[in-house]
Amino acid sequence: MVTVFRNGNLFDGHAHRAGTALVVEDGRIARLVPEAEVGEVPSDEVVDLAGGLLAPGFVDAHVHAVQGGLERIRCDLSEAATREAYLAIIAAYAAANPDVPWILGGGWSMSAFSGGAPRADDLDAVVPDRPVFLPNRDHHGAWVNTRALEVAGVSVSTPDPADGRFERDADGSPTGTLHEGAMELVGAFVPATDPEECYRGLLAGQAHLHELGITGGQDAILGAYAGMDDPSHVYLRAAQRGDLTAHVVGALWWDRQRGEEQVADLMRRRAELTSGRLSATSVKIMQDGVAENGTAALSSPYLDRCGHSTDNRGHSFVDARALGRYVSLLHLEGFQVHVHAIGDRGVREALDAFEGVAGTTPRAGHREPRHHIAHVQLIDPDDISRFAALGVAANLQMLWALLDPQMTELTLPFLGAERGEWQYPFGDLDRAGADLAAGSDWPVSTPDPLAAIHVAVNRWQYAGGGRAGEEAFLPAQALPLERAFAAYTSGSARLNHRDDAGRLRPGAVADLVVLDRDPFCGPAEEIGATRVRSTWIDGEVVATASSA
């Protein structure tokens, strides 16, 4: 089967190329030819790009596809933005699903609530008789009702866990918002997800990602976390049945309540969960929390709302010295280490751990691990150059680098002016030679790569025909369009050890996305208007605009 893509331009994974057609044969790229010569190529199918852009399929280097899919088929709050809208959706979902024992789903934004903390009594008004457990968009907090607190035995006398906290009234009573480890105390009582529902969640999530041009990625948690069931068995089943059309690397969850004794378990799970298009070759370590709830690990204290220093420096969930030992053990066994680090101290602790393995090689038979740090919201300027020096990739969530209410109301006031300017330093990382990859962290935020690329280039969010905000956020940290596209294609493919993907070159797999316009030929302000026409994996269509 020979397919020719013509009448448009190409992004080849690193650079924009005009006037070039692409020929796919039996699932792989056969050659690139000048547009003037494409008529001489015999073909079974011709795809008319109609002035649009052909690019490698996007690769989401940090995503939670099963959780995203489950939220889409459960009580999905991701498209709303206010307390009133959330409550209306929850009430309607509860009324439509009277036999569901727990109301589950999620996707609410902290910025919709005073202090980022919704209350149980609001949920009690719409669902008084069943427990409700709804993680927020970043999955570092959850909103629960009184019934859920009762089921879990949480009361005024329940102490905060070491790695989290309950929002409380003046008398100490929990008010309905759970941060970090506090989620586990209630999430432990959430019924296990029915395997068939979980499978539907994966397929729904995968279909949505394909509609957005995504052909593969790295699921950032294969394990149980914060009331979410381990999706490993779902991925394995889909891989073995041929339903996993995306190429997925699974990041096995590092249990921070355990130590190095779990490495043997991870090696066993890697062997069990590597099948077909699934490779469980990465390990995810969550080193800190998030800035919005004061749990990201900072080198100096957070400020209060009056600008005064507090005694809170956030959480390092793994002791820094232990982290170095764990990274060394995992590196030796050939695991890629995928660290969540938001705060400047968290990022530095991760870099220090990777410095301990720089220049060393894994045991015989294992490939170069290609370690990476995801999120990298705050980086001390002194640490920028260390990414390239250590060969550690920066896994960027580009969409977050903007002045949305979460940034202006829940982050900047508590960081202060100087640290506020350390955020999302994409441009500095690029100029320092760091390897860049990109992901969405969906369902934390939309998995649309084009929305994220728009923010990476403009540092403000596209809002259906124009600009969402008046001010660009630290515009000196913007990325050139080619570098943003490269991070979401060749950069993320390399991170996933898919060296035959992410590039338009002879011999590469034909994982492709067709866009309805060429954003390289229009104004940067309109990048976010670009839409996906079709998505291809191994030369076969997996999504079209009509199926979106």
pLDDT tens-digit readout, 173-218: 999 999 988 998 998 899 888 899 999 999 999 999 999 999 999 9
User: Dihedrals φ, ψ of 275, to 5°?
Assistant: -160, 130
Q: Which domains does the chain have, with CATH numbers?
A: 102-187 (3.10.310.70)
Reading the block at residue 269, the tokens are 């799970």
Confidence (pLDDT) at 139: 77
Token reading at 159 = 């102490």
Residue-wise burial string across 278-290, b where 16 or more C-beta atoms lie within 10 A, e elsewhere: bbbbbbbbbbbbb
How large is the greatest C-alpha to C-alpha distance in the chain, in angstroms? 80
360-394 residues labelled b (16+ CB within 10 A) or e (exposed): eebeeeeeebbbbbbbbbbbbeebbebbbebbbbb
What is the structure's pLDDT at 548?
Answer: 44
Query: At what angle are helices 195-211 and 232-241 packed, to 10 degrees?
Result: 70
List, for residues 115-169, the tens digit of each pLDDT value.
889 999 999 999 999 999 998 877 778 999 999 999 999 999 999 998 889 999 9
Q: 533: helix, coil or strand?
A: strand
**Per-residue model confidence (pLDDT) at position 469:** 62
Listed residue (263, 113, 215) closest to 500, CA to CA: 215
Give the per-residue pLDDT at 393: 98
User: Helices (DSSP H) in 310-448: which residue ranges?
Assistant: 320-332, 344-355, 386-390, 405-410, 412-415, 417-420, 426-431
Report the pLDDT value the prediction gives residue 470, as an integer from 0 to 100.
65
Residues in the chain: 548
Contact 59, 452 (CB under 8 A): no
Encoding tokens for residue 504?
């338009």
Rounded to 5 degrees, φ, ψ at 277 are -90, 10
Q: Which helix (H) or strand (E) holds 176?
A: strand 174-180
From first to last of its 548 residues, what are the pLDDT tens digits of the chain? 999 999 999 999 999 999 999 999 999 999 999 998 988 788 899 999 999 999 999 999 999 999 999 988 889 998 888 999 999 999 999 999 999 999 998 888 888 898 889 999 999 999 999 999 998 877 778 999 999 999 999 999 999 998 889 999 999 999 999 998 899 899 889 988 889 999 999 999 999 999 999 999 999 999 988 667 899 999 999 999 999 999 999 999 999 999 999 999 999 999 999 999 999 999 999 999 999 989 999 999 999 989 999 999 999 999 999 999 999 999 999 999 999 999 999 999 999 999 999 989 999 889 999 999 999 999 999 999 999 999 999 999 999 999 998 899 999 999 999 999 999 999 999 999 999 999 999 998 999 999 999 999 999 999 876 676 669 999 999 999 999 999 999 999 999 999 999 999 999 999 999 999 999 999 999 999 999 999 999 999 999 986 54
Q: State residue 354's pLDDT score.
A: 98
Q: What is the pLDDT of residue 463?
A: 84
Tokens of 383: 């640490």
Q: 């990041």: which residue's tokens? A: 251
Q: Which residue spans within 366-478 are E strands per DSSP?
A: 372-375, 393-396, 436-438
- For residues 305-343, one letter each, b for 16 or more C-beta atoms within 10 angstroms of the residue's C-beta and e for the rest, the string is eeeeeeeebbbbbbebeebbebbbbbbbbbbbbbbbbbb
Both structure tokens of 60: 């989401």
Query: In sequence order, which residues have a C-beta less than 8 Å from that of residue 334 and are 6 or more positions away?
Result: 281, 362, 363, 365, 366, 367, 369
Q: Please give the helix or strand (H or E) that residue 55 lies within, else none.
A: strand 53-56
